[in-house]
Amino acid sequence: MSDIWEKEIANAGAFDGFTTEAGSELSDLIRQVNGINKELVSAEEKVKIFKGKRDLYLYELIPEKMQQLGVDRVEVEGNAVSLISFVNGTMPKDPLQKQAAMAHLRDIGCSDFIKNTLTCQFGRSQDNEAKAIKADLEEAGLYPELGEKVEPSTLKKLIKDRLQNGLEIDTAMFNASVGQMAKLSRNTDHG
């Protein structure tokens, strides 16, 4: 019993320095950090808006104007601006559409780009079984889940390569976009 009382007295001692002034200072610090958090959210929203504006120039306005002028490289105020090709694409989020996309990749001979992940759930007391079972999961009464994925960078490269070589790929299925963008780089010759 004395151990319990000693712990309670020690815990109560933690509030010895807690005065009205200290409580007020703590409240001020908490309000300040909440204000900083609000400013941070606002700044992140502004960054997102600026990135959208920048992308409008890099992916649409500048490439369109350069194409109208018939140039693929220019220098402006010490910046070299050139048009480069880009490819974007994503795997569908919807499970049925994702399954169809995987089937499409297999149908066009691209199953090597699919990564497979096999997972199985074990209870707390099955640690030894989890380590020992590898090939005989179903015989052990455990039902594994098979997950498939294609890495985003791999998908983009696959789409680009197949389009460049005139090979089949369903660009709509992967929400693929192909185009040109402006790449800006500082020309070191003009300091």
pLDDT in the model for residue 19 = 74
| Domain coverage including residue 31 | 21-86+176-191
Check whether residue 93 and residue 165 sit in a common domain: yes
Residue 152 falls inside a structural domain: yes
Regarding pTM above 0.85, the answer is: no
Average of per-residue pLDDT values in the chain: 85
- Residue 62 sits in the same domain as residue 114: no
pLDDT over 50 (residue 191) = no
Whole-angstrom distance, CA of residue 58 vs CA of residue 54: 6
Scored b (16 or more CB within 10 A) or e, 78-101 reads: eebbbbeebbbbebeeeeeebeeb
Report the pLDDT averaged over residues 7-27: 70
**Residue 7: per-residue pLDDT:** 59
Same domain for 123 and 71: no
Nearest to 179 by CA among 99, 66, 96: 66
Pair 103, 173: CB distance under 8 Å: no
Same domain, 34 and 105: no
Compare 61 and 119 and report the one with higher pLDDT.
61
The proportion of the chain whose per-residue pLDDT surpasses 70, expressed as a percent, equals: 82
Question: What pLDDT, on the 0 to 100 scale, is given for residue 10?
Answer: 55
Instruction: Check whether residue 95 and residue 149 sit in a common domain.
Output: yes
- Residues 45 and 82 placed together within one structural domain of the fold: yes
What pLDDT digit, counting tens, does each position of 134-152 carry?
Answer: 657 777 676 677 677 899 9
pLDDT of residue 1 exceeding 60, the answer is no
Question: Which strands sit side by side in the sheet containing 177-186, from one edge to the other?
Answer: 73-76, 79-88, 177-186
Q: What is the pLDDT of residue 50?
A: 97
